[in-house]
Amino acid sequence: MRTAQVVPDTGYRYRPQKFRELATEITMFVCYEALKEVRVKDVTVQTPVAEALCQKISEDIVVVPILRAGVGMLEGILDLVPTARVGFLGMYRDEKTAQPVAYYQKLPERTGDALHIVIDPMLATGGSTVAAIDILKSAGATKIVVVCIVTCPEGLAAVESAHPDVKIYTASIDDRLNEKKYIVPGLGDAGDRLFGTR
């Protein structure tokens, strides 16, 4: 007979399952708003009673998580738009300079006219988000939105200054960045909390 292993609750860092569940739920709520202006077309659906005129998404959607924390938001968007294609941008923040360093890029082909949704739970300094948008525009993207869970005035200003044509959708605008360039009060390191790492 097998017995279940009991894992002690030793603090927020060791409960990634709950953090992932909440990140997915919040992502879905924010994405409802981000997808409000998506192009649709009329389609006819046969119900058990009669035909009904409905609407279906008519534009290509490409979701682009910024690795690694952005992966924690991916399920929430794909639950809403399962036909979306997915690209990946790997970046990390240099702890000394607080500047983004790109290390990986894999984008779907032929996406110039697609709606690109950049996802990352934390928009702090804005550096990684600006760099991600730069890469997408260089690849031909013309319609880009950003979806995050928490941001701050400094991050919003940085993205809006570099890319005023890109809309940002977020669940929370927190107070500020601290001296280490972390959002206050923020969520801590979203990647660590999503995946149970340090």
Q: What amino acid positions are annotated as catalytic residues? A: 93, 97, 189, 192
Of 81, 66, 180, nearest to 118 by C-alpha is: 66
Beta strand 183-184 with 167-173 is unpaired
Q: Two tokens at 51?
A: 């035909």
Separation of alpha carbons 96 and 99, rounded Å: 8
Amino acid sitting at position 109:
E
Count Cβ atoms below 10 Å from residue 182 Cβ, excluding itself: 17
